[in-house]
Amino acid sequence: MKERTKYGYRAGIVAIVVNSILFVLEYWVGIISGSVALMADAWHTLSDSVSSAMLIAGIRLSSQKPDKKHPFGHGRWEQLTAIMIGFLLGIIAWNFLTEAIGRFRAHETASFGTAAIVVTVLSILAKEAMARYAFWIARKTDNTAVRADGWHHRTDALSSIVLLIGILFHKQFWWVDSILGMVIAGMLFYATFGIVKEAISKILGEEPGDELIAAVKKLATETAQTEVFPHHFHLHNYGHHRELTFHIWVDPAMNVQEAHDLTARIEHAIKEELNVVSTIHIEPHGVEH
């Protein structure tokens, strides 16, 4: 858990520092060029710093130890933080969309220079690097909030790529700045949907993945030294802490003590090997609950 928290903090702090620098550069060039797309991209970048600050706060809350009122810990703060980041993205997207539509109707355009190209290329490289770093940490720690922050960085990088294309062709098409603002807003809405959907799915409860089920079945069979047919899996994800419930079949002639000892051994093996707390319901062989 300590390593998980440490990596989460590190991802948030790196993002805040880098994005704050990029915001100043992008916004400055946006003012010079009069580009709504560049200024929108700058605010998108700054929103990354805000979401990263939310990420740090969420990690701090989720890392608290279990207590009497919260026996499963506070890990679901990760999912709640991811939802808040997602909604922040949605609000930003709406503001960009309305601004871009307004400029399109007014036939407003932008004047880009070399500085806009240099800053945008620098922004793309930095944002993609941060996205890859966040995704690496998310894979290492299985942290939903860090993954959400990574998608925030990735959509920022993609929006900057679209912006760069627009900068290169703005002389041929007066409307390119407004259209790019709309495209960036659409990308943000899509990212919002994905982030919020994943977080809500984990809060509601998910069926375990095929990899986890296969590992549990293998451990159960090896521990029991016979086939016990694990089934009826349910996973409860609390961030740092996961609870798994499932059923097994046992020999109907087995007494209560023997059945208890068997399930205790299987539960211990799953905890040791997979770091998952399991609760096993026993059934007579061939009789499904």
Q: What is the DSSP string of 91-141?
A: HHHHHHHHHHHHHHHTT------HHHHHHHHHHHHHHHHHHHHHHHHHHHH
Averaged pLDDT, 87-92: 80
Q: How is domain 210-284 classified at the architecture level of CATH?
A: 2-Layer Sandwich (3.30)
Averaged pLDDT, 159-185: 75
User: Per-residue confidence at 199, pLDDT binned at 50, 70, 90?
Assistant: confident
Q: What is the pLDDT of residues 43-73, one digit of tens each?
A: 777 767 766 776 677 666 666 676 676 656 5
CATH 2.60.120.10 fits 2-204, yes or no: no
- Residue 250 bridge partners (DSSP): 284
More confident residue, 142 or 23: 23
User: Per-residue confidence at 264, pLDDT binned at 50, 70, 90?
Assistant: very high
Identical fold between 2-204 and 210-284 = no
The mean predicted confidence, pLDDT, of the chain is 78
**Cα four-point dihedral sign 274, 277, 282, 288:** negative
Q: Rg of the Cα trace of the chain?
A: 25
Going from N- to C-terminal start, the domains of the chain cover 2-204, 210-284
* Number of neighbours of residue 168 by Cβ within 10 angstroms: 14
More confident residue, 258 or 93: 258
